[in-house]
Amino acid sequence: MQEAVIKRAKELLADGTVNRIVGWKSGEFAYDTTPAVFTSAEEIDAGFIYNDFCAPNLSKYLIKESRKEGKLLVFLKPCDTYSFNQLIKEHRIIRDNVYIIAVPCRGKVDIDTVKATGIKGIIGMESDGETVTVKTLYGDTSIPKSETHGDKCKTCKSKKHVIYDEIIGEDGEVNDDGARFELVEKLEMMTADERYDFWRGELSKCIRCNACRNVCPACSCENCVFDNPDSGIAQRAATDSFEENMFHLIRSFHVAGRCTDCGECTRVCPQNIPLHLINRKYIKDINEFYGDYQAGSDLETRAPLNAYTFDDCEPNIVYKRGGNE
């Protein structure tokens, strides 16, 4: 896969279709990939990678990058194309300046999931698409790749690209079996006390690093409420339980109806808070109350919070619904 991607990137760069490439390069460790811009064939040879560790969503980088001179080439995984569509819908990306090559994705390796299996002293990792070989200080271990997926990839919503100029490999299918809402449903069935304890346990780990906001493709406001010193929740130090709750409630509410469920918030969270569950709860509610809606799946549909019907359900539906008091 990587060879095919690099070959096509070099061709497009050589014939002048594009003057720069947004892709991934290896970070400090092989499994620790980072988005990067490449402008020459030499740079591509030196660092470009596309493998099972390239989880970062490149769409958000195009907000700034597509405003620069000339056309750029970007590689988008199925998840990323949803974010890309959503950003076009919000007039954040200049479509004409972007040449998209769709690259297939069969789930990405999640380092936190690997660590959770109890493997210690990781110094490197390799994947051949089926098995992941983990190099540790105590020797090599192999685990099947399907066991290294985070919750996001385990319950993948779609392997189909919704927008691209050309595609490498074969397009996949949308997966709408609802498996991604299983954890949300489990929480809904708990009592209010249990839910409160669960979220307090998770959110109290928050260190207010704002990584979830910064990485989120839907969070593209130039002036963010959390940067406003008058908002009361701008400070990062000395947070208390209210502020952690408020930050996550407001952050998720601001992307409700626009969140494509790309799972980047959970991936980047240094404290491993399952933030995508909050977003998925909104998606699930919107699907139930206002009909199925997938943000970013097309360019026409109105976002559910920008629309209404005369016979929407009343807010007290929340009190009447299942689950425990």
Q: Which is nearer to other proteins, 270 or 323 (CB)?
A: 323
Identify the residue among 250, 271, 301, 302 touching other proteins (CB under 8 A): 250
Q: Give whichever of 68 and 205 is closer to other proteins, judged by the CB atom.
A: 205
Q: Does 316 bind other proteins (CB under 8 A)?
A: yes
Q: Does residue number 285 form part of the binding site for other proteins (CB under 8 A)?
A: yes
Helix residue ranges per DSSP H, the chain: 2-14, 41-47, 62-65, 78-89, 111-116, 151-154, 182-188, 192-203, 211-215, 241-255, 264-268, 276-290, 317-320
Please report how close the Cβ of residue 227 comes to other proteins at its closest, in angstroms: 14
Among 243, 263, 264, 295, binds other proteins (CB under 8 A): 243
Q: Interface with other proteins includes 305 (CB under 8 A)? A: yes
HSE at residue 277, side-chain half, CA atoms within 13 A, is 17
Minimal distance, residue 3 CB to other proteins, in Å: 46
Buried b (16+ CB within 10 A) or exposed e, 25-58: bbeeebbebebbebeeeebbeeebbbbbbbbbbb
Asked if 207 is part of the footprint of other proteins (rule: CB under 8 A), the reply reads no
Rule CB under 8 A: which of 62-91 touch other proteins? none
Nearer to other proteins, 178 or 323 (CB): 323
By the rule CB under 8 A, 298 interacts with other proteins: no
Binding status of residue 242 toward other proteins by CB under 8 A: yes
C-alpha 285/C-alpha 251 separation (Å) is 17
Structure tokens, 48 = 């470009």
CB closer to other proteins out of 124 and 201: 201
Applying CB under 8 A, the site for other proteins has a residue count of 47
189 binds other proteins (CB under 8 A): no
Q: CB-wise, 38 or 199, nearer to other proteins?
A: 199
Interface with other proteins, residue 227, by CB under 8 A: no
Find out whether 125 and 33 touch, Cβ atoms under 8 Å. Answer: no
Question: From the CB of 215, what's the least distance to other proteins, in Å?
Answer: 21
What does the H/E/C string look like for 57-119?
CCHHHHHHHCCCCCCEEEEECHHHHHHHHHHHHCCCCCHHHEEEEECCCCCCECHHHHHHCCC
Cα–Cα nearest to 54, from 111, 124, 138, 94? 111
Token representation of residue 203:
């959110």
Site residues (CB under 8 A) for other proteins? Answer: 187-188, 192-200, 225, 231-232, 240-243, 245-246, 249-250, 252-253, 256, 278, 281-282, 285-286, 289-290, 304-305, 308-310, 312-319, 323, 325
